[in-house]
Amino acid sequence: MDFLEPAFMQRALIAALLVGITAPAVGVYLVQRRQALMGDGIGHVAMTGVGLGFLMSANPVWMATLVAVVGSVVMELIRAYGKTRGDMALALLFYGGMAGGVLLINLSSTGSNANLTSYLFGSLTTVSPEDITAIGILAAFVVLVTVGLRRQLFAVSQDEEFARVTGLPVRALNLLIAVTAAVTVTVAMRVVGLLLVSALMVVPVAAAQQLSKSFRATFAGAVLIGVVVALSGTVTTYYVAAPPGATIVLYAIGVFILLTLLATPLAKRRARAAEAATRDCDARVPATRRPTDDVKV
């Protein structure tokens, strides 16, 4: 357990743990809403925030959070009100965010594309104690929302129209999901990087639902898988010179493949059990017409 010794590894593991919990916790709602790539879009927008942070010599994590939250709210409003060309508006936001980030960071005196790389692909070992504080506060918010409001978020993500008729504040909840996703992106930024954030939001959910029948089990399974791959990926990079973000994401995809392979015989067995339960196929089907019927249309 010598990887626990250095202080930077302790911080890295704490950050990885928080990301492993929060990313799938939000991701499950995004996948449910069929917005699996939302996290990716927010990641692009957050880059402008990182650039802004460098330019204004502010903490890039908080700046990225601010810009990502604004960006996600704009995206949600486009989704809710935009009747036409919603995809175009989103594309503008994605690439505008990315270009803005690259431009701003090069305008600043302290930043360079090399700095940007640590945000794009994650730089777990350079996580500072201040970063840990920021990530901790943001992660607490995400957990509070995704667990505390799970019934409401489930209903809104399952069937928005029905949720509205139950009297739920659907617009507010939609915005809350968007903001929570934005916060999660910035939490995960230092660990897996903005370009791979979305993977940690979606892949554990996809893996968990290979075996699960319920939303509850999918949620719990996705968080468990998220934590396991985030921690094991981080530990791996202590021994092997591999980038943590990429390692974590590839572990997650490995778990997905493993569970998919496991699920196939399981599904077959379930189908066989269901078939056995309804073996009785001997039903009489009365004809509605006889050859002698005079049918006129």
What residue ranges bind other proteins (CB under 8 A)? 28, 31-34, 36, 149, 151-152, 154-155, 157-159, 161-168, 205, 209, 212-218, 288-289, 295, 297
CA distance 295 to 278: 36
When the beta carbons of 126 and 166 are compared against other proteins, the nearer one is 166
Work out how close the CB of 148 gets to other proteins at its nearest, in angstroms, rounded to a whole number.
9
When the beta carbons of 34 and 109 are compared against other proteins, the nearer one is 34
Q: Cβ–Cβ contacts within 10 Å for residue 266, how many?
A: 12
CA distance 44 to 120: 9
**Amino acid identity for residue 44 in this structure:** H
Helix, strand, or coil (residue 58): coil
Work out how close the CB of 97 gets to other proteins at its nearest, in angstroms, rounded to a whole number.
25
Work out how close the CB of 186 gets to other proteins at its nearest, in angstroms, rounded to a whole number.
24
Contacts 24+ apart (CB under 8 A), 261-269: 262/210, 262/211, 263/210, 263/211, 266/211
When the beta carbons of 151 and 284 are compared against other proteins, the nearer one is 151
* DSSP one-letter string for 205-258: HHHHTTT-SSHHHHHHHHHHHHHHHHHHHHHHHHHS---HHHHHHHHHHHHHHH
When the beta carbons of 42 and 64 are compared against other proteins, the nearer one is 42
When the beta carbons of 46 and 225 are compared against other proteins, the nearer one is 225
Token pair 């990530």 is found at 135
Work out how close the CB of 82 gets to other proteins at its nearest, in angstroms, rounded to a whole number.
13
Provide the CB-side half-sphere exposure for 121 (13 A, CA). Answer: 9
First to last CA, the chain: 82
Work out how close the CB of 166 gets to other proteins at its nearest, in angstroms, rounded to a whole number.
4
Work out how close the CB of 147 gets to other proteins at its nearest, in angstroms, rounded to a whole number.
12
When the beta carbons of 130 and 159 are compared against other proteins, the nearer one is 159
